[in-house]
C-alpha cells in the first residue's frame, strides 16, 4: 500500500512539472506589458489637471507644461516595471511643490504609499541666473570661507576659466588663486573708485541672489517649512531644486523671486589681510571707473 501511494505522488509531481513547463513556454511567447498593473486613472483630479493642455500647471506643480515635458524627456529611469515615468515625475514635482507627506501625496494620486517612497551654502551662477555649481550639505552655522575651502571647485580649481573671476560677498576672502574670487572693498571705502566698484559689484552679484529668490519662490513650501524627509536626503532634494530651476529658465518659465534682506553683516576678519586677489580687484575697479576706455566685457550684461 505504501508503494502505491508513492507511485501516485510521483505521477502527480510529474504532471505538475509538465504543467509548469507548458506555462513557462506559453508565457515566454507572449509579449507582456510590464506596466499593465499600473494603469493611469484619468479620473484622479491631479492627473486630469495635468492632461488639461489649457491649465496653468504652475499653480499645482510649480512648473509650466513645457518645463514638465522637458523634464520627463530628460529623465532616464532604469526601472522597467511599476508606474510610468510621467507619473513618477508628477509625484515628485507634487511632493516638491507642496512639501507634503508621503501619505498625502499617495492620496492625491490614489496610489499606494509604498510607491511614493521610491542647504545650499555655496552656489555659482552665470549672468542669466543659471546655476553652474552648487555645494550642498553643510549646516548653516558653518562659515562661508570654510564651505568654500571644502568645495570641489576650490580644491580642484575647477572654475572660473583663465581670465574670468567669480564675484562673492564679503564673507569670502579676495583671491586670485587657487580660484579667482573677487569680493567688494571693505566699508568705509577709501575713494570714489572703490565706491563705484562696490556699487557695480553689488548689482552684478544680485543675480545670484535673484536666482535663489526665484528658486525659493517656486518651491516656497519646501524652503519655508520643515522637510518631512531624512536629513541624509536633504542635500539631494535641494540639488534637485537647482536642476529644476535651470530647466525652467531654459523654457522661459520665470517666477518673481522672494524678496529677502541680503545683509552680509560686518566684514569678516580674514578680509583684513591680503589674500592675493587685491591686485585683480584694483585693476577691475580702475577699468570700471575709466570714463573713456571701457572693458568690452562690461557691455555684455545689463547690470552696469
pLDDT tens string 15-56: 777 766 665 565 555 444 444 445 556 667 777 777 777 777
For the ranges 161-165, 212-216, 232-236, the lowest mean pLDDT is seen at 232-236
Whole-number pLDDT of residue 247: 92
C-alpha cell at 84: 510610468
Threshold 0.75, pTM exceeds? no
Whole-number pLDDT of residue 143: 82
Confidence of residue 132 (pLDDT cuts 50, 70, 90): very high
CA distance linking residue 255 with residue 264, whole number of Å: 25
Does residue 185 carry a pLDDT above 60? yes
Query: 269 Cβ partners below 8 Å, 6+ apart?
Result: none
pLDDT tens string 272-301: 343 468 889 998 888 887 755 555 555 555
For residues 57 and 64, is the Cβ–Cβ distance under 8 A? yes
Torsion of CA 245, 250, 251, 256, to 10 degrees: 50
H/E stretch holding 26:
helix 2-29
pLDDT tens string 66-112: 888 888 888 776 554 456 777 778 888 877 777 666 666 777 766 66
Amino acid at each position: 500500500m505504501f508503494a502505491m501511494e508513492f507511485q501516485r505522488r510521483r505521477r502527480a509531481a510529474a504532471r505538475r512539472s509538465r504543467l509548469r513547463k507548458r506555462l513557462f513556454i506559453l508565457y515566454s511567447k507572449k509579449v507582456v506589458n510590464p506596466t499593465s498593473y499600473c494603469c493611469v486613472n484619468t479620473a484622479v483630479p491631479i492627473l486630469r489637471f495635468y492632461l488639461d493642455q489649457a491649465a496653468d500647471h504652475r499653480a499645482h506643480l510649480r512648473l509650466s507644461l513645457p518645463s514638465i515635458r522637458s523634464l520627463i524627456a530628460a529623465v532616464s529611469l532604469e526601472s522597467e516595471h511599476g508606474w510610468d515615468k510621467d507619473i513618477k515625475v508628477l509625484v515628485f514635482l507634487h511632493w516638491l511643490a507642496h512639501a507634503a507627506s508621503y501619505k498625502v501625496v499617495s492620496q492625491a494620486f490614489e496610489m499606494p504609499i509604498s510607491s511614493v517612497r521610491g542647504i545650499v551654502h555655496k552656489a555659482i551662477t552665470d549672468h542669466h541666473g543659471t546655476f553652474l555649481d552648487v555645494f550642498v550639505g553643510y549646516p548653516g552655522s558653518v562659515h562661508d570661507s570654510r564651505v568654500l575651502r571644502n568645495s570641489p571647485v576650490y580644491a580642484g580649481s575647477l572654475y572660473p576659466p583663465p581670465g574670468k573671476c567669480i564675484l562673492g560677498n564679503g564673507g569670502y576672502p579676495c583671491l586670485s588663486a587657487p580660484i579667482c574670487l573677487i569680493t567688494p572693498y571693505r566699508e568705509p571705502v577709501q575713494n570714489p573708485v572703490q565706491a563705484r566698484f562696490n556699487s557695480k559689484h553689488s548689482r552684478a552679484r544680485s543675480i545670484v541672489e535673484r536666482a535663489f529668490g526665484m528658486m525659493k519662490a517656486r518651491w516656497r513650501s519646501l524652503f519655508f517649512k520643515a522637510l518631512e524627509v531624512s536629513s541624509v536626503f536633504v542635500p539631494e532634494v535641494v540639488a534637485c531644486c537647482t536642476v529644476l530651476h535651470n530647466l525652467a529658465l531654459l523654457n522661459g518659465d520665470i517666477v518673481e523671486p522672494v524678496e529677502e534682506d541680503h545683509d552680509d553683516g560686518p566684514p569678516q576678519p580674514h578680509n583684513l589681510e591680503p589674500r592675493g586677489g587685491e591686485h585683480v580687484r584694483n585693476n577691475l575697479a580702475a577699468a570700471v571707473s575709466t570714463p573713456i576706455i571701457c572693458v568690452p566685457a562690461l557691455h555684455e550684461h545689463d547690470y552696469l
